[in-house]
């Protein structure tokens, strides 16, 4: 089998035990004689998976009973509208730190009044804005904690005078979170906790029911709370793999343990970028993401970009080309990305530097 070091930004690298369990479940789910993609979502066997998955989310992130956990379809992009539908009565506030934050703001602004508290667009979103204040006259404040395209990350849980809502698509389960500082957290699973197709929502129950507008049935959080995430047929296969991914995470020590590993992996790669004469990081050092490491060729070496991509590909590096909007390189170091893969990328960068000294 070909050796590949997967640095794709999403769909993400998944733990091997989760993939192996998925293969077996596709053949025969829990001894039913049916595939997991054939079994009824109303069956006892499937209900056990849903219950186990919710329990793992609660255990790994210490989510109290005052919060509901939902597994939905539609991706984080659907949540960009669902959030203001359920929370925006008079005005909303957004922190603009990248493309996905901009898209979330656009949906809110199309529905009602929304303001941008601060933005890092002036420097191509290469830093997290500083010195801003959360307004107190808004219904909620929205942040995007990790910016996959630009490699910046908010690694703290803010105290907020208004309901705090976060898109955590690409750094969920990578670090401990103080859940009770948030009214709602959402994200697409495919960046860190599972395959594409399922969206997680963690919402404080008493934060809902505050708006006077009509909310379409499928965009109303209470619909899915009352239906146990099965108002309509859930994305069963994606939820199954997410459950297996969380079982793997628990087996290695949980969120606290993986955070230490993630910090180590990112530190190793950033150290090499800072040392290597051919490469330079693009994000402000104090705001560097531990999930998505973005870098470019150093000044004077820009012509080597395509050569390095080919050089890295020959050595098994997959998915290190930067987002099409910014170019350069991006290595996504999600939970299941092993230290071995980072070591291989570092060796590749060092070998390339030797060729061009």
Phi, psi at residue 295, to the nearest 5°? -155, 165
Phi, psi at residue 302, to the nearest 5°? -60, -30
Name 69's bridge partners: 202
Of the residues 46, 57, 100, 248, which is catalytic? 100
* 206 included as an active-site residue: no
Name 143's bridge partners: 166
* 181 included as an active-site residue: no
Of 195, 213, 220, 86, give the one whose Cα is nearest residue 140. 86
Distance CA 176, CA 315 (A): 34
Distance CA 266, CA 271 (A): 8
Of the residues 139, 167, 171, 287, which is catalytic? 167
Of the residues 46, 57, 171, 191, which is catalytic? 191
* 248 included as an active-site residue: no
Strand 67-72 to strand 91-96: parallel, antiparallel, or no bridges (unpaired)? unpaired
Q: What is the DSSP string of 176-241?
A: ---GGG-SEEEEEGGGTTS-TT-EEEEEEGGGSS---S---GGG-HHHHHHTTT-SS---HHHHHH
List residues with catalytic annotation: 100, 167, 191
């Amino acid at each position: 089998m070909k050796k590949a070091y997967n640095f794709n930004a999403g769909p993400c690298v998944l733990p091997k035990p989760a993939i192996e369990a998925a293969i077996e479940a596709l053949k025969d789910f829990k001894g039913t004689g049916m595939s997991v993609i054939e079994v009824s979502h109303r069956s006892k066997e499937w209900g056990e998976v849903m219950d186990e998955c919710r329990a793992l989310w609660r255990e790994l992130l210490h989510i109290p009973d005052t919060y509901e956990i939902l597994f939905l379809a539609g991706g984080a992009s659907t949540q960009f509208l669902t959030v203001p539908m359920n929370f925006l009565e008079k005005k909303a506030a957004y922190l603009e730190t990248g493309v996905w934050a901009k898209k979330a703001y656009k949906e809110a602004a199309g529905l009602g009044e929304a303001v941008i508290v601060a933005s890092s667009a002036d420097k191509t979103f290469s830093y997290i804005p500083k010195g801003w204040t959360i307004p107190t006259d808004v219904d909620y404040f929205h942040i995007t904690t990790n910016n996959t395209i630009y490699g910046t990350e908010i690694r703290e849980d803010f105290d907020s005078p208004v309901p705090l809502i976060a898109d955590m698509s690409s750094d969920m389960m990578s670090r401990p979170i103080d859940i009770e500082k948030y009214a709602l957290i959402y994200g697409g699973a495919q960046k860190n906790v599972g395959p594409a197709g399922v969206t997680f929502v963690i919402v404080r129950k008493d934060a809902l029911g505050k708006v006077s507008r009509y909310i379409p049935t499928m965009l109303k959080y209470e619909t899915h709370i009352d239906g146990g995430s099965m108002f309509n047929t859930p994305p069963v296969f994606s939820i199954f793999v997410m459950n297996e991914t969380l079982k793997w995470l628990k087996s290695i020590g949980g969120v606290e343990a993986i955070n230490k590993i993630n910090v180590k992996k990112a530190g190793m790669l950033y150290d090499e970028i800072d040392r290597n004469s051919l490469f330079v990081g693009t994000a402000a050092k104090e705001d560097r993401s531990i999930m998505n490491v973005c870098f470019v060729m150093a000044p004077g070496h820009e012509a080597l970009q395509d050569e390095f991509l080919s050089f890295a590909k020959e050595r098994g590096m997959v998915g290190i080309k930067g987002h099409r909007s910014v170019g350069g390189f991006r290595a996504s170091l999600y939970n299941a990305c092993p230290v071995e893969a980072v070591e291989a990328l570092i060796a590749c960068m060092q070998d390339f530097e030797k060729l061009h000294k």
